[in-house]
Amino acid sequence: MGNIYDEVDFDNTDFRKQPDKYRVGRGEQGVLMVEPYKSELLPNWRFKTPEIAQASADEIYNQYLSYKEQADFVGMDMARKYLQMGYTRARRYANYPGGKKYNADGERNERSIDEQKAKAASIFEEKWKLVREDENYLKKKHEHQTQYGS
C-alpha cells in the first residue's frame, strides 16, 4: 500500500486552491508538505518551554479558528496536525533527553522525564483535543473524506 500522496506534485500544488488533492491521512501525515498551510503554520510551531508552547499552541489554535471561519477544512486539519505534532514532539523530548529514543546502536535510550517538556506537551494536547472533538471539524472531515477520499 503506497503513501496517500503518491500521486501529488507538492512543488506545484496549492492545496487551498485544490482541496480535492488533500487527504486527511493518519496522524501528522503530510504536515511538512502541504502548502500554503505549512508556510502559515510551521513558523508558529514551538515547544522549547511551557511559555513558548502556550504562545505557539494559542497561535495555531487561533489559525484553526480562522480557517474554520473561512470554511477551509484543509487549513483546519493542518492546524490540527500541527497541534498534534506539538504534543507528540514535546512528549518525545519530555521522555528522552535530546528527543533521541534510540542510540546509535539502535538500542532504546533510558527514559527520564523532563517536567518542562511534559508541561509543553500537555499545553498542545489541550488544544489538539479541542480541535479533534469540535463537531464542526468532525462534520467537515466526514464531508471531505466522503467527497474526495481519505
Which of 6, 41, 53 lies closest to 25, judged by CA? 6
**In the prediction, which pLDDT does 15 show?**
95
Q: How far apart are CA 57 and CA 128, in angstroms?
A: 9
- Residues 40 and 63 sit within 8 Å (Cβ to Cβ): yes
Q: Which three cell numbers stand for residue 106?
A: 539502535
**In the prediction, which pLDDT does 149 show?**
83
Q: pLDDT tens digits for the chain (150 residues)? A: 456 556 778 878 999 999 999 999 888 888 999 999 999 999 999 999 999 999 999 999 999 999 999 999 999 999 999 999 999 999 999 998 888 888 888 888 888 888 999 999 999 999 999 999 999 999 999 999 999 987
23 conformational bin, left if phi > 0, alpha if psi -120 to 50, beta if neither: beta
Q: Could you tell me the pTM of the whole model?
A: 0.90
**In the prediction, which pLDDT does 39 show?**
97
**In the prediction, which pLDDT does 29 show?**
85
**In the prediction, which pLDDT does 2 show?**
53
**In the prediction, which pLDDT does 25 show?**
83
**In the prediction, which pLDDT does 4 show?**
59
